[in-house]
Amino acid sequence: MMLLDGCFMIEVLRASECSDDYAPNDPVFSSRMNHLRKPYIKRDMLLLENQLPLLVLKALLEVENLGRTDAEYINHLVLSYCGETLRANLSRLASHPLELYRMSLLHKDTIVQVKSPPINETKVIENAVELRESGVHFISNDKYCTSLTDIKFDPKTGRLKLPVLPVHDGTEHFLLNMVAYEQIHVGTGNEITSYIMFMNALIKTADDVKLLQRKNIITNSLGSHKDVVELFNRLPKEVAHDPNDALNKVRFELSEYHANKGNRWLANLRHQYLHSPWMVLSIVAASLVILLTFIQTLYSVLTFHLRK
């Protein structure tokens, strides 16, 4: 079975780059069928229960003896099929496509779980709109090769940097399989699970999705904001929160920032009175009128007393 699946996978990976060797009416590998077969094959390729060891591909390529058979080439071949922009800093051959896909989203080569500094209590953070009302600024971390776990919060400026996540029909399927992979493989880490739990806390209403989409943190291809909300509400079901969550420190800092009444007061001032240039000019003009009136009154009082 692995021999048959391995031969098919090699042919699929190669056909995605060049389909000239097949007849135009080939029902599977013709160039016109590429965009039709790819989503379904990719979906099956990343199913946890369908994982094929990449060592099988390496062995078949070595038997074929027609080109490169090194780990870098095989990793690149698989990732090129999964997505044009996916990269993984792997110095070894990945165990299987799902591990490779997961590493490409994390941009690292490690199976050691990264633990955040110990925090005595786990904080529950508010949704995106509530955090914005307390002065949190959402920033899209759109740098090339940004890890899904590259989430940082600066309590001094209130800036929360989040990676860009494309949301489409396959997003739920891919994330669920990676969560399952993390849950059953000891020592793998919980980075994808941590990210999903964090986004689930941020996204509770359609307004949260609108805010994150406006900030270019989410690109929504599902069509409806409500669909995105339901997606992130379904993902973390029956997944326990890990006290060593890699994002636990960010949660704690966000919770403390939101609890600060001064931050909420300043945020309310900005949203109510400083949200447009015209409002700022109006406030400046009113302040100048008050200041000039005070100076004029003071001058009149001083003049009256000096005349005495």
d(CA 213, CA 220): 7
Task: Show the CA angle centred on residue 147, arms to residues 144 and 149, nearest 5°.
Answer: 150
Sign of the CA dihedral with 76 first, then 169, 232, and 215 last: positive
Residue 82 CB contacts under 8 Å (≥ 6 apart), including other chains: 42, 45, 46, 97, 100, 101, 104
- Beta bridge pairs of residue 160: 138, 153
46 in Cβ contact with 174 (< 8 Å): yes
Q: Residue written as tokens 């964090």?
A: 198
Determine the pLDDT at residue 270: 58
Determine the pLDDT at residue 30: 76
- How many CB atoms are located within 10 Å of the residue 44 CB? 10
d(CA 154, CA 152): 7
DSSP 70: S
Determine the pLDDT at residue 122: 60
176 in Cβ contact with 134 (< 8 Å): no
The residue among 68, 52, 55 whose CA lies nearest residue 4 is: 52
The residue among 221, 88, 213, 115 whose CA lies nearest residue 162 is: 213
Determine the pLDDT at residue 113: 45
Residues of the chain predicted below pLDDT 70: 17-20, 84-89, 108-123, 142-146, 238, 240-241, 243, 261-280, 282-283, 304-308
Q: What is the pLDDT of residues 165-191, one digit of tens each?
A: 889 888 889 999 999 998 888 778 888
Determine the pLDDT at residue 19: 58
91 in Cβ contact with 27 (< 8 Å): no
Task: Show the CA angle centred on residue 232, arms to residues 184 and 147, nearest 5°.
Answer: 65
What's the pTM value of the predicted model, to 2 decimals?
0.79
Kind of pairing between the strands at 159-163 and 152-154: antiparallel
Length of the chain: 308
Determine the pLDDT at residue 112: 44
Q: Which helix (H) or strand (E) holds 160?
A: strand 159-163
Kind of pairing between the strands at 218-220 and 165-167: parallel
Q: Please tell me the number of Cα atoms within 13 Å of 283 on its side-chain side.
A: 11
